[in-house]
Amino acid sequence: MESSKREKRKVGLIGCGAIGSEIAVAIDSSRVNAELVAVYDACRERAYTLVSRLNKRPMIADSIEALLASDTELIVEAASQQAVKDYARSIVEHGNDIMLMSVGALLDDTFYAELCSLLERHGRRLYLPTGAIAGIDAIRSVKHMLKEVTLTTTKHPRALTGAPFFKEHRVNLKGLKKARVIYNGYAREAVRLFPANVNVAAILSIAGIGADKTKVKIVADPRARRNIHEIHAKGEFGELYFKVSNVPSPSNPKTSYLAVLSAIECLSRACNGRVSIGT
């Protein structure tokens, strides 16, 4: 009952695609104790399409400046890694907390350090949903004891299509008849080459031993019906193993539905704030 008496936080949204739309609908249906006051998308038509679905119509901002002038308290980014780099500093400097979906942008160490400095200076908070994986609380708890962390992501080839990786490597996804490892490396490079597919590698790196030590293996499997993420961690504490088999988002096969649900839960915690579960 207490949370229902709290004043709703005023939220702005950047990115009106699949994830942004799901977050907006969750706010509109009162699943989150917030008021969506403004939305912005570089594609104005996407913003209009989203707003037409909502009962409570937020303002459609024609620029980031207009979004930040709309009396927001918390901005949710659901656009791209580039959007994070372009807008995150201004968001914090305008006195907003920020929730990022495109966590991969934070693997730019210089940018992340600068953003953390701004957060400290302005007394703002940064929220990072765990996305389509499990076990982040456990990884954070033992990060000082970790020796090895490996993420194996398996997706249907159509969920990987269009990644920058394929501009640098010739892989015929359409010709695959069985599962094939198409990438085996480390998180920093993986997030650059697959920005829409392995943001989970970024959050895992930040929670654990870093982007240059977190191993990433990406498997394209034409028989896959779900997006599968497996985490194997070893250290002085013992071993951890997590496997999540995700249904793809109905509106975007590149995204696991759990990533959407994780974002909604993270936003709900940011807006309610009375009870915090987990590490």
* Annotated binding-site positions: 132, 199
**Exposed e or buried b per residue across 215-245, where buried means at least 16 C-beta atoms within 10 angstroms of its C-beta:** bbbbbbbeebeebbbbbebebeeeebebebe
- Cβ neighbours of residue 210 under 8 Å, at least 6 residues apart? none
- Provide the annotated binding site for NAD(+): 132, 199
List, as one string, the DSSP characters of 195-239. TTT-HHHHHHHHHTT-TTTEEEEEEE-TT--SEEEEEEEEETTEE
Active-site residue identified among 94, 144, 229, 232: 229
144 is catalytic: no
Residue 181 CB neighbours (<10 A): 12
246 touches 257 (CB < 8 A): yes
Cβ-count burial of 90 within 10 angstroms (0-12 exposed, 13-18 middle, 19+ buried)? middle
Question: How many Å apart are CA 129 and CA 142, to the nearest integer?
Answer: 19
Handedness of CA 259, 264, 265, 267 (dihedral sign): positive
159 touches 216 (CB < 8 A): no
Catalytic residues: 229
